[in-house]
Amino acid sequence: MSKEITAEKVINKLPQRFLKDNANDFNAVFQLLLEDDSDFYISIQDQNCEVKPGEHPDPNVTLITSADTMVNIINGETDGMSAFLTGKLRAEGNVMLATKLSKLFSREKQA
């Protein structure tokens, strides 16, 4: 029996995959607005990563997509830039920060 992979499970595991050595002098808040699931934000401050439910009052960048697309991006099954270029992922705010996400987390697949 396989466990269902949900956006919440995958997003909540991000701190375990955080590569703090790649976050020197990097502080940002990434808002994840999931069109068909709960919203989350990722706060990276002082080489620490926290994931919180809900909406942050002042994120640096907001990523808007479906839960399935977000899971596929996080697990490496979909390239974030490809999702952006095909309209499956929208970004608002400091869009260049979104390109740094892949360097901040290991690519090991989460189940």
- Of the candidates 21, 43, 18, 16, the residue with the CA atom closest to the CA atom of residue 30: 43
**Alpha-carbon span 20 to 18, nearest angstrom:** 6
What does the pLDDT read at residue 108? 64
Mean pLDDT of the chain: 91
Task: Read off the amino acid at residue 76.
Answer: G
Give the predicted TM-score (pTM) of the model. 0.89
65-80: average pLDDT:
92
What does the pLDDT read at residue 102? 85
Q: State pLDDT tens for residues 75-91.
A: 889 998 999 999 999 99
What the chain holds in terms of domains, given with CATH numbers, is 7-104 (3.30.1050.10)
What does the pLDDT read at residue 5? 81
Tokens of 46: 């002082």
The answer to whether residue 111 scores a pLDDT higher than 80 is: no
